[in-house]
Amino acid sequence: MSWYYPKEKKLTKQDVEAYAHACWDIIREISGDDHCKSYDPLTIEGKTAHSYIFNLEDGGRHHKFKNFEHLREMILKETLETLKDLEE
């Protein structure tokens, strides 16, 4: 369960995909990077997230995750690291 949702609401696949898209929009606006797969920053199938944009701790295109909150935390961590790198 996420800190920004009421207790009775758990994160859904659509929530996390939209979150990833929003994070990518922010990175793209700040960096000017327009990666060729920017229209699809993250797709979730079962317990695997597919992304050309996010490395999510393991690099590559296919990323395992424990639950949607774990995936959201990985996206946030990578987004913040990317933004910090852009400042330097």
From residue 64, how far is each of 10, 13, 14, 87 by CA, in Å? 19, 14, 17, 30
Domain residue ranges in the chain: 13-83
Collapsed DSSP state (helix, strand, coil) of residue 5 = coil
70: tokens are: 């774990």
67: tokens are: 């639950």
Q: What is the pLDDT of residues 12-34, one digit of tens each?
A: 999 999 999 999 999 989 988 77
Q: What is the pTM of this model?
A: 0.84
pLDDT of 1: 47
The percentage of the chain sitting over the pLDDT mark of 70, rounded to a whole number, equals 85
Q: What is the pLDDT of residues 45-80, one digit of tens each?
A: 999 999 988 999 888 889 999 999 999 999 999 999
